[in-house]
Every structure is written in structure tokens, then in C-alpha cells.
Amino acid sequence: MTADGTSTPSAAAVAAAVRSGATKAADVVEQHLAAIAAREPEIHAFNTVLAEQARERAAQIDASVAAGNDPGPLAGVTVALKDNMCTRGVPTTCSSKILDGWKPPYDATVVNMLRDAGAIIVGKTNLDEFAMGSSTENSAFGPTRNPHDTSRVPGGSSGGSAAAVAAGFSQIALGSDTGGSIRQPAALCGVVGVKPTYGYVSRYGLVAFASSLDQIGPFASSVEDAALMLDVIGGHDPHDSTSIPQRHPSLTEAIQQGVEGLRVGRITDLPEGADPDVQERLDAAFEALRAAGATIVDVQVPAFTFGLTAYYLIAPAEASSNLARYDGVRYGLRVDAADTNEMYGVTRAAGFGDEVKRRIMLGTYALSAGYYDAYYGKALKVRRLIHDDFERAYQQADVLLTPTSPSVAFKFGSKGDNPFAMYLCDTYTIPTNLAGHPGMSVPFGTGAEGLPVGVQVLAGTLQEPVMFRAAAALERALS
Ligand code: GLN
């Protein structure tokens, strides 16, 4: 279902129809381009729409079906890509002025996998600059609007991808999640969003923000479509030394199983801060899983509450190092100056926005001699405590449920001049990234002003099958 209430066929159904020849990929593409033409001027989900490229690709897929070949499990499925994933010859901006004019010389591994599976990329989506933010208000190209209420943010940093799916611009989108950037916008836009186990999906060609936390994952209108997508993009990649070598079990098959006997954990010492309407939906989610045959158990994750603090040392530290390469020499923008040192400075001053500069300064400070042990080193120890606390909880529970976001979508500008208020949006999503575990947000009804609320399902390392089973049960409970 899209934000305006129209229901669209699932990606699974479209792929089946295109593979059998019953539906033309060309028609699927035209429908989505028409949706984009109608509402994109108001929503601004995209930095680049790839209309001609999508049409050419659809023609190839239709020709391949006509010749008796199988284009793959995502045949004719439209996909939007967050604009921090490299696409050969197509601008990849990270919504930053510093990458102005840069066109990658290669495709990210996920882009190759999508192509091999028959998917059609319709465009590159807007984000908070370098994926730093929770509202897309930090984009150098202006914010994306929430399709459910255009006076409100879509969440971030993958706000363009979430909005693209919610507005029916594409059936599936890819985002990246370092501290919640897939799950939080999914919750605010009323779609499914998944952050897999660290290493489940290759990061090759994903522009690095905080390399030990970044993961690519899907947005979709249903749990089944998210499973289909993750089945395609999950797997080992020799180009990414942190990608997990083993094969992943089929999530499309896993969701056929119910939740009878599953232990669902309620974290009794979860940090406070969720609005009453969000809390009410979380309580309803526990009830729904209990009614479906699961057992609810109380667990504790004491270090959960320190996640935000540890993240805002570790992520900026890694970012300060990763973003050092944007100096006007090799990529994008260069502002000329009298000598090279001055050129670095004026280029970076002109190219980066305020939030990115804030992170670079925080990270540089946390890593500097004399402060390293007190800040960065300490944060790494907290990270280990968070991981261990979660592992203990997963001995008692198969999955944990929490709110995804403390509130429904908020108004533009309502947190704009207070970075700490914005950082609090990630209270419930960040600890999972620090632990390296998977997490996903599932739409579970509406809260204040009729806006979507997401429930977060968390699970242990490589426990995606059980996480998806719980998510599918929540979805079924609402239908
Ligand atoms: N909102 C968080 C931040 O600003 C998370 C971002 C992300 O997951 N990319 O860092």
C-alpha cells in the first residue's frame, strides 16, 4: 500500500508476471515513471531519475523473456538506490556539494547483483549529507518530504529511499544503516526497512561513513518483498573483506513458518522517551505475537542506554578518517587557492555542510593524542558491553521488540537547530549497529495525526530467518 492508499502489486508478483511474459517490464517501468512525474516535484525523493536507462533496461528484459530466457528473481522490479552507492558513469553525490560532478568508474556490488537478478534501477535517492542525520534536512540539495504528510520529514538518513517506496515511485529501495538510517525512515514512512547482520550484504561501492557499522539493506511495502530483495543482495563478496563467507538461508522460505513457540523479549530496562502513541503500538505488537502463539519474556539489556553516547564517539571517529579523502584532489569539488594546503582547506570549507563538519571535528578530537583512550577507547569498551548484554538476552529470547523511533514523523525545522534532539531519534536503533546484529522496522498501525508507527524487531547474529518470521507475523496480524 502506498501513502495515498492505492495498493500496488508486490515485487514478487511483478517478477513472476514478467518472467512468465504475462506483464511487460516496459509497462511496469512506465507506471512507476508516471507516479514519479505526478508527485516527485512535491516529494523530492530523488537526486537523479534514470528514466531513459530504466526504459532501455526494461526493453532488454522483455526481449530476454521473448527469447525464452529467465531474467532472474527480480525481473522487471523497480528499485531506487540511495545516492551513496556507486553507479558507473552516473553521479553519486551523497547529497554533498563536495562530490559535485563526480561519476564513479565502477558499480557497487549490490548494483551488479540487482542487474543480474533482472531489477530495474529508476533513480538515486536523496539522503542526509554522507548519511549523517535523521530527517534528510542535512541534504545539500534540499529535504525530501514525507508522502503521508508533506509538512513532515520522512526520517533519515535514507529518507529519499523510504519516501520513494511509500509514494509508489519504486517497489523496492536500498538504503544504508549505520545507526538507524534504514529503520527510522521506514517507520516514519510506513514501510518495511531492514538492517541485516553486519557483513550480510557487501559494502563494496557504498561510500563509507563509519565502516565498522555501515550496512546496506532494503525498503519494501511488505515483509515478503524485503525478504525477496535480501535473498538477492545477501552473500559473500571477495571485494569486501568484512562480508560473511557462508551462504545465507532463504528468507522467502523462512517467512512461511509461523511464530508458535517463539520467545519474544520485552526489554524491561529500555531507555525511556517513546511517545505514548508509539508505546501503545508496541504493546499491541506484543499482544499480536502472543495471540499468534509466541511467548513473551522479560529480558534486560543494561548497556542499551549507553548506545547513543558510544555511537557519537565511534561513528564520528571513523567518519573523520573516511572523509579525509575529500580534499579537492581526486573527487568532485575543487576550490582554487594560492597553494595546495590552502586549496584543501577552502575546498572542504565550501564542500561540506554543518553537520558533516561537526562530525569531522568531534571525531578528530576523539581520536587525537591524549584523548584517544578517554573517548574513543572507552567507547569501544562500551560497545563490547552492549554486544555482550544483547548476547545474554538472546539466550532467553529469540527476538526482541522495541519502538523503532520514539515518535511519529516530525515537522520540518522542529529539531533543526538542536543536534542533540536529532540524535535522540536513534536511541532505539543504534545499539543494534554497535552489536553488529540485525534489526528491522515493520509498520504496525498509526499513532498521532494518523501517521505511521513502526515496531522494531531485533535478533542475534545471522538470525534473520527468525527476525523475518516475527515481522511477517506482525504484518499478518494487521491484515
Ligand atoms: N542518524 C544517525 C546519524 O546521524 C544514523 C545515520 C545512519 O544510520 N547513517 O549518524
Give Cα separations from 463 to 33, 190, 227, 250, 355 (angstroms): 37, 24, 13, 12, 34
> What mean pLDDT comes out for the span 374-394?
97
Residue 233 to residue 204: CA distance in whole angstroms: 12
The pLDDT of residue 416: 67
Nearest alpha-carbon partner for 269 in 402, 153, 142? 402
User: Is 157 assigned a catalytic role?
Assistant: yes
User: Is 181 assigned a catalytic role?
Assistant: yes
* 395 grid coordinates: 539466550
Over the stretch 140-156, which tens digit does the pLDDT of each residue have? 999 999 999 999 999 99
Which atom in ligand 1 lies closest to the alpha carbon of residue 134? Answer: 1
Q: What percentage of residues in the chain have a pLDDT greater than 90?
A: 96
Ligand 1 and 134: CB distance under 6 A: yes
User: Does residue 463 register a pLDDT over 80?
Assistant: yes
pTM more than 0.95 = yes
Out of 135, 158, 181, 202, which one is annotated catalytic?
181
The alpha carbon of 93 is separated from its chain's Cα centroid by a whole number of angstroms, namely: 17
Ligand 1 and 95: CB distance under 6 A: no
The pLDDT of residue 341: 96
Dihedral pair phi/psi, residue 27, rounded to 5°: -70, -40
Residue 295 to residue 113: CA distance in whole angstroms: 38
> What mean pLDDT comes out for the span 289-305?
98
User: Does residue 5 register a pLDDT over 80?
Assistant: no
Residue 361 to residue 320: CA distance in whole angstroms: 7
Dihedral pair phi/psi, residue 101, rounded to 5°: 85, -5
| 343 — pLDDT class (breaks 50, 70, 90) | very high
Over the stretch 231-284, which tens digit does the pLDDT of each residue have? 999 999 999 999 999 899 999 999 999 999 999 999 999 999 999 999 999 999
> What mean pLDDT comes out for the span 115-121?
98
Compute, in angstroms, the gap from residue 62 CA to the centroid of ligand 1: 39
> What mean pLDDT comes out for the span 287-313?
98
Compute, in angstroms, the gap from residue 472 CA to the centroid of ligand 1: 26
Residue 260 to residue 89: CA distance in whole angstroms: 49
> What mean pLDDT comes out for the span 211-228?
98
Residue 147 to residue 150: CA distance in whole angstroms: 6
Compute, in angstroms, the gap from residue 1 CA to the centroid of ligand 1: 27
> What mean pLDDT comes out for the span 9-22?
95
Best mutation site among 136, 314, 425, 426 for ligand 1 pocket (most ligand atoms within 8 Å of CB): 426
User: What does pLDDT average to over the chain?
Assistant: 97
Ligand 1 and 470: CB distance under 6 A: no
Residue 52 to residue 54: CA distance in whole angstroms: 5
What residue ranges define each of the domains in the chain, with the CATH number in brackets? 11-254 (3.90.1300.10)
Which residue lies with its CA nearest to atom 5 of ligand 1?
179
User: Does residue 221 register a pLDDT over 90?
Assistant: yes
Out of 10, 24, 82, 139, which one is annotated catalytic?
82
User: Does residue 31 register a pLDDT over 80?
Assistant: yes
Which atom in ligand 1 lies closest to the alpha carbon of residue 425? Answer: 1
Whether the Cβ atoms of residue 44 and residue 126 lie closer than 8 Å to each other: yes
Angle at 271 between CA 268 and CA 275, to 5 degrees: 100
Compute, in angstroms, the gap from residue 178 CA to the centroid of ligand 1: 6
Residue 446 to residue 176: CA distance in whole angstroms: 25
Give Cα separations from 356 to 131, 159, 189, 368 (angstroms): 9, 17, 25, 18
| 112 — pLDDT class (breaks 50, 70, 90) | very high
| 418 — pLDDT class (breaks 50, 70, 90) | confident
Residue 155 to residue 175: CA distance in whole angstroms: 12
Torsion on CA atoms 203, 209, 213, 215, rounded to nearest 10: -40
Out of 134, 157, 176, 202, which one is annotated catalytic?
157
Dihedral pair phi/psi, residue 339, rounded to 5°: -140, 175
Angle at 354 between CA 349 and CA 359, to 5 degrees: 95
Compute, in angstroms, the gap from residue 272 CA to the centroid of ligand 1: 20
Q: In what order do the strands lie in the sheet with 46-49?
A: 46-49, 120-125, 78-82, 172-177, 215-220, 192-195, 439-446, 452-459, 399-403, 263-267, 295-299
Nearest alpha-carbon partner for 389 in 435, 433, 426, 430? 435
Compute, in angstroms, the gap from residue 135 CA to the centroid of ligand 1: 10
Nearest alpha-carbon partner for 176 in 135, 141, 145, 132? 132
Position 124, amino acid: K
Nearest alpha-carbon partner for 178 in 284, 50, 311, 348? 311
User: Is 411 assigned a catalytic role?
Assistant: no
User: Does residue 288 register a pLDDT over 80?
Assistant: yes
Does the CA dihedral 91-95-97-98 come out positive or negative?
A: negative
Ligand 1 and 171: CB distance under 6 A: no
Residue 75 to residue 78: CA distance in whole angstroms: 9
Helix, strand or coil for residue 450?
Answer: helix
Ligand 1 and 179: CB distance under 6 A: yes
The pLDDT of residue 3: 74
| 417 — pLDDT class (breaks 50, 70, 90) | confident
Over the stretch 119-146, which tens digit does the pLDDT of each residue have? 999 999 999 999 999 999 999 999 999 9
Ligand 1 and 180: CB distance under 6 A: yes
Over the stretch 53-95, which tens digit does the pLDDT of each residue have? 999 999 999 999 999 999 999 999 999 999 999 999 999 999 9
The pLDDT of residue 479: 85
Best mutation site among 181, 427, 440 for ligand 1 pocket (most ligand atoms within 8 Å of CB): 181
Compute, in angstroms, the gap from residue 216 CA to the centroid of ligand 1: 13
